Every structure is written in C-alpha cells, then in structure tokens.
Amino acid sequence: MNYFELFGLPEHFVLDKQALADTYRQLQMQFHPDKFASRPERERLQAVQRAAQINDAFSTLKQPLTRAEYLLSLHNVDIRAEQQTLKDPAFLMQQMEWREQLEEIADAADIFGAIMAFDMELQQEYQSLIGLLEAQLAGQEWNQAADTVRKLKFMTKLQSELERLEEAQQEF
C-alpha cells in the first residue's frame, strides 16, 4: 500500500494537510503499540511495524520536497538518494551567484539586513519553483519535475547555510 492510500488521500502533490494530520492521529491511535501490549508477540510486532510505516508515511507526505520525491518514485523516477547534478546552465549560473552572495554577507555593513534580503530572495524563488513543480506533477511531466526537485533541494541546502550564518552572528 502506498502512502497516499494509507492515508486515504488522492495521489497528488497538493493535498489536504488537515486531512493528512487528522488521519495520522486516527491511525496512530488505532495502531499504537501500547494498545497491543497484552497481545501475542506476533501482533505486537505487527503493531510496531505498522506504527513505523505510519510515521514514515506521515513525515514523507507532510513535507513538499519529500512528497514530490515520493510521487516521482511511484512513477519510476527515483531521485531520493541520487547525487546527479543539473544540466540547466541558467540555474548553474544562478547557483554560483547565490554562493557569491552568501559569501559576501559576512562583509556587509548590515549583516542582518543582508541576511534578511537574501532570505527573501531565496524564499521568492523557492515559492516560484514550488508552483512550477505543482504544475509539472499535475501534468505528469516526471523528468521536468525531477529537475525542479533537484533545484529545490539545492535551495533548501542554501537556505540552511544562510540560517547557520545567521545563528553564528547571533552568538556574538
């Protein structure tokens, strides 16, 4: 059973987050290992396995990137563990510019202002790519969606680096 079926949701990138959370709570209550404490060992083990599957499914579906990767894997485009680089020259140039921008923040007169401005730029581009990804997945453009996920993964990593830089500044 795939994760969407487990939660009774349609196999789409856009999903009802409230329905996901509600179903998660219901499934957790139904299959919580404590409810099977007095049952035979086989049933206890099955409950633990089912609870783990429910947790994995929920964590996968609640995050847009992991949900997109999972959807792609259901359509034989599995990029979850790959290290493939993009072949999009424009995005590669943008990556280099963002890296330079990140490095220059430490020398800015207003470091926090520079961090916030860069963060807003990244968030806008991220949201734009999420919109593109949504359309690609809806149109079953699996390979194009995979490239968009790769771009989003880079942006997520860059965002994490920016957050570390901001945290380092707050320590002073």
What confidence score (pLDDT) does residue 149 get?
96
Residue 93 confidence (pLDDT) above 90: yes
Range of lowest pLDDT (74-78, 85-89, 97-101, 126-130): 85-89
Q: Which amino acid is at 62?
A: K
Q: How far apart are CA 152 and CA 129, in angstroms?
A: 7
Residue 15 confidence (pLDDT) above 80: yes
pLDDT tens sequence across 66-78: 999 999 999 999 8
What confidence score (pLDDT) does residue 140 get?
96
pLDDT tens sequence across 149-162: 999 999 999 999 99
- Give the CATH class of 3-62: mainly alpha
Residue 81 confidence (pLDDT) above 80: no
Higher-pLDDT residue of 29, 130 = 130
Contacts of 88 (CB under 8 A, 6+ apart): 147, 151
Q: How far apart are CA 130 and CA 152, in angstroms?
A: 8
- How is the chain split into domains, by residue range? 3-62, 89-170
Instruction: Judge if 3-62 and 89-170 fold alike in CATH terms.
Output: no
- Give the CATH class of 89-170: mainly alpha
- List C-alpha distances in Å: 151 to 45, 85, 91, 147, 167: 40, 9, 8, 6, 24
Confidence of residue 83 (pLDDT cuts 50, 70, 90): low
Contacts of 112 (CB under 8 A, 6+ apart): 166, 169
User: pTM to 2 decimals?
Assistant: 0.86
